[in-house]
Chains A and B, each alone.
Chain A
Amino acid sequence: MSLTRLFPTPSDRMSIMWTLMPVEDAVVLEYGPAGTTHFGNGLYMSLGIRTENHIYTTHISEDDVIMGDVSRLEAAMEEIDEAYGPRAIFVVGSASIAVIGTDVKGVCSYMQERVKARLIAFDDGGFRGDYSFGLKAAYQLLARELVRETKEKDPDSYVILGASLGEYRCRSDIWEVQNLMEEAFGMKCRCCFGLEGKLQDFEEAGQASLALVLRPEAKEAAAILEEKASVPSCYGAPYGYEGTLSWLERISGLLNRPVSPTLLQRIRLKMRRNGVSMGGPMGSIRLKEPRAALQGDYERLLGLQGALKEMHIPTEAMICMHSLKGIADPAAGVVHYAKEKERIRHLRSLQDCWLLGSAEMEQLCDGSNYFTCAAAPFNGYAQIASHLPFMGEKGMDYLMEQADRYFEKSGI
């Protein structure tokens, strides 16, 4: 790799960590230098993940590095098991451990006899790919290792696959999806892979009558649920008013349940009120053409592009923050720059745009643009609220307000 001036792309290991840590009655044990864990806690807390009693480190010494001593790891597993009684311990090796080549899975295998908690090992040390790869691996592992085969079904429940706390306002998006599902179909979320749920909820995920797959990285996990418990899935995320209606209608078709007429009426009313003919933010008389540039995760790029299209705002750039290697047939216009300097060059060239992206976008693009934080890294944009989504009806409300601000600022 060459010079990295900005935040590097988070590794597979980092997203594995932020996907596993939210599992409520499990503990993540990092096998590696304590500094990694201590430093990492700053990131996890900024993502709204509680750390105390949920993450521990073994620390390592030269003995572990040179002699391959794993006694610290064994002792830590036994100690956590005895002291805290978690239902599972996710054992995650650090980058140093990956380089040394310690057989973490092997240690977990023989230690399983000595502890009550389920030991689940991850030995991706951060060198197999970026966070997109890690999300895929973590969702798959949770589905494969935890979800039980079942024929039992609860028609009023569903699961969410594909939450990533590394995505800006993830918690708010899931809140919106859950509200929409409740209001539209009266259905409850059993658990959300990557955000919330007890181990038992994941084990019983097969009882759900639907899996909502919000990101492409979760498609394989959805296939596992289908195979284990015949859970059908619906791929895609609700962005924009029209996008949300179409998403709800697809779910309605899959479940053979009608969407709440009140909800439909409310969203349609908003579409009419704020539409082009009403002169709202989408008003047709414009002094100059609006333009948007997006930066973020693949699914959000496509979602925002759709939402902006509803507002007649063309998108001139879609910069994906992760590799597109894992995306089958990526949509036209989405680019990923393996070299940071090419990304910087592209960002610096943007003029008079509505920028929806990370804090680096704000830092690199000039003042002719209008910025809305919509992606990580989001340093300086703390996430306190969990009710300010980009997805769904409320997400579109917010995007329209931001569009109005962009038009005002840019004299459009």
Chain B
Amino acid sequence: MGMDGKKILERLGKLSQAEKMKDVKPLSYALFPGYHCPLMGAMLTVNRIRDSVLMVLGPDECSYYTKMATGGSGTMAAQGCRVVSCVLDQHDVTFGAQESLEEAFEELAAEEKPQAVFLVSTCVPEITGDDVEAIAALAEKKHGFPVMVVHAENFKTDDHMPGIEHTMEVSARLMEAGPQDLSINVLGLRLGEFARTECSRFLKEAGVKTRMLLPGPCSVQEIREAPRAKLNLVVHPIGLPLARKMQERFGTPFVLFERLSDPDRILKAYEELFRALELPVPTGLVPLYTEALSRTQAARTTLAGGTYFSGNTALCNYELHAFLTEKLGLSPLLLQISDLDEISRPYRDILLQQADPYVSRAANLGALKYLYPVLKPTYNLGAGNPMEMLAAGTAMVSMMQAYHVLGFETNAMVCEAFLTAHDQREQFLARQKAGVSHPLMKGGPV
């Protein structure tokens, strides 16, 4: 039993036909595991603001799962941020949440005076129409601590990104103007450690201090003083609304420097960054650029002609696909996407000159596995079951370090990840030919 991969394909459209996300069909109507929600995005952002309070407003499930994710020592663990909730019951749903929220704020204020509270409003209060902003404003006035409302309704989105974006945007309310210095804020770095990146190294060598990381480990005070930075370095488009707001309110310029894969585009991003900082472009970039060009060319000789599926990655997705097709000679067969934004249109245009892949909505691994045997991609970029992929001759491309790279190292990581997958696939095919089963594969020889 299982889904018919051919039938799934019949339903899907091509990238060239998709103008907006409503044109993009899911692989199936029954999704597994399904998209993350904006509450998770908000959680991933607030939980690293060490002296803040994250208050979830919603049914007990939303609160329970947030506590679960932020507890312990995992990657989502709260880093000093206190996670509480105002759990809605039948009475709140019927008569409104104001009374409960007021009581929750009373209790919170009696226990501590938080530097900032991020009140995350989930699906239920967004449906019932509680005026959460007004209640938050009253609480702020009464208790004297800032309360920012993050609207995190899941029924308007297909992933958790709006939760991150909105949390960042509302945090602008905390910011205050101040004397500028040679420093930057890093906006939009999800997970990962900026200090480990190549870009951070070059900035440090040039005497540029990193001020606020959002999302990232920071304090409310650091958010308050963020406008003192000379520049906002936006590493993902989710940082753009805050960057624009800061430009408007404080005149802080910004540069968009995503995790790019193409050496020319990386060099251009570095040049733009240092120009905006009014600093010379580091000479150390030249050998890295030359090396990236050679590496790309060498990888092409091995990888050209291969095909792939891709889900969302931590990189600049459409730029990655433009690089893979144009520079490595790979061809995407299916892309699982969450957006068709204007900012990435130039990359899509490059990609479409080379290929026109099927597109589907993301986060649906349950159905994806039925397409491996139909389209038989050489590689799969993203999550999935590696054994199911190998059975169809597809190698999984794993980019474990993706959250920690920025600069030419992104190019290195992408090339190496594909070359590793290529080798694994070759080894698998050789074993298959020799009738030797893969150690992790069930049953006999495959």
Contacts and interface: CB of A to CB of B under 8 A. Distances in A.
B123 A33 contact: yes
Interface stretch (B36-44, B201-209, B253-261, B343-351): B36-44
A10 B61 CA distance: 7
A13 B142 CA distance: 36
B104 interface: yes
Contacts of A35: 34-40, 154, 160
Contact of B107 (A51, A65, A341, A379): A341
Nearest to B109: A3
Interface in A160-184: none
A26 to B, nearest CB: 14
B434 interface: no
A4 B123 CA distance: 18
A100 interface: yes
Contacts of B65: 39-40, 42-43
A33 B37 contact: yes
B92 interface: yes
Nearest to A8: B60
B34 A38 contact: yes
B30 A11 contact: no
Interface stretch (A78-86, A139-147, A299-307): A78-86
A199 B87 CA distance: 35
Given A11-B60, A39-B69, A57 B127 contact: no
A36 B128 CA distance: 18
Nearest to A75: B29
A98 to B, nearest CB: 8
Interface stretch (B1-9, B212-220, B406-414): B1-9
B88 interface: yes
A111 interface: no
Contacts of A9: 60
B312 to A, nearest CB: 14
Contacts of B160: 35
Given A43-B68, A57-B32, A2 B107 contact: yes
A50 to B, nearest CB: 12
Contact of B127 (A10, A29, A52, A96): A96
Contact of B37 (A6, A39, A62): A39
B69 A42 contact: yes
Contact of B87 (A1, A40, A53, A379): A1
A128 B90 contact: yes
B104 A2 contact: yes
A206 interface: no
Contacts of B86: 1-4
A96 B158 CA distance: 16
B366 A127 contact: no
A14 B158 CA distance: 23
Interface string A61-81: 110110000001001100110
Q: How large is the interface on B (under 10, 10 to 19, 20 to 34, 35 or more residues)?
A: 35 or more
B30 A29 contact: yes
B156 interface: yes
Nearest to B125: A99
Contacts of A57: 30-34
Centre residue among B37, B60, B67 by max chain A CB count within 10 A: B60
Contact of A95 (B29, B34, B37, B124): B124
Given A2-B103, A36-B154, A95-B124, A79 B28 contact: yes
B60 A126 contact: yes
Given A8-B60, A60-B155, A100-B127, A2 B37 contact: no
A324 interface: no
Contacts of B104: 1-4
Contacts of B79: none
A51 B90 CA distance: 29
B72 interface: yes
A55 interface: yes
Interface centre among A6, A13, A39, A53 (most CB of B within 10 A): A39
B127 A99 contact: yes
Contacts of B88: 1
Interface in A11-63: 11, 13-14, 29, 33-43, 46, 51-53, 55-62
Contacts of B63: 4, 7-8
Interface string B82-93: 001111111011
B33 A72 contact: no
A5 B84 contact: yes
A380 interface: yes
B68 A379 contact: yes
Contacts of A392: none
Given A34-B35, A43-B64, A58-B29, A3 B108 contact: yes
A53 B3 CA distance: 11
A85 B124 contact: no
A377 interface: yes
B124 A36 contact: no
B363 interface: yes
Nearest to A81: B30
B229 to A, nearest CB: 33
A172 to B, nearest CB: 21
B123 A8 contact: no
Given A35-B160, A126-B59, A127-B93, A7 B67 contact: yes
B31 A56 contact: yes
Contact of A76 (B29, B58, B123): B29
B3 A83 contact: yes
A10 B64 contact: yes
Given A2-B107, A14-B61, A83-B3, A41 B33 contact: yes
B304 to A, nearest CB: 35
14 contacts: A4-B85, A4-B104, A7-B67, A7-B68, A11-B60, A11-B61, A33-B37, A34-B34, A35-B36, A35-B160, A43-B68, A58-B29, A83-B4, A100-B127
Given A8-B64, A35-B160, 15 more contacts: A7-B63, A35-B36, A36-B37, A38-B36, A39-B39, A39-B40, A53-B366, A57-B30, A57-B33, A83-B3, A84-B2, A85-B1, A99-B93, A126-B60, A127-B89
Interface of A: 1-11, 13-14, 29, 33-43, 46, 51-53, 55-62, 64-65, 72, 75-76, 79-80, 83-85, 94-96, 99-100, 125-128, 341, 377, 379-380
In the complex, the 9 A-B pairs of residues with the closest C-beta atoms, listed nearest first: A35-B37, A34-B34, A33-B154, A56-B30, A75-B29, A39-B65, A3-B107, A8-B60, A76-B30
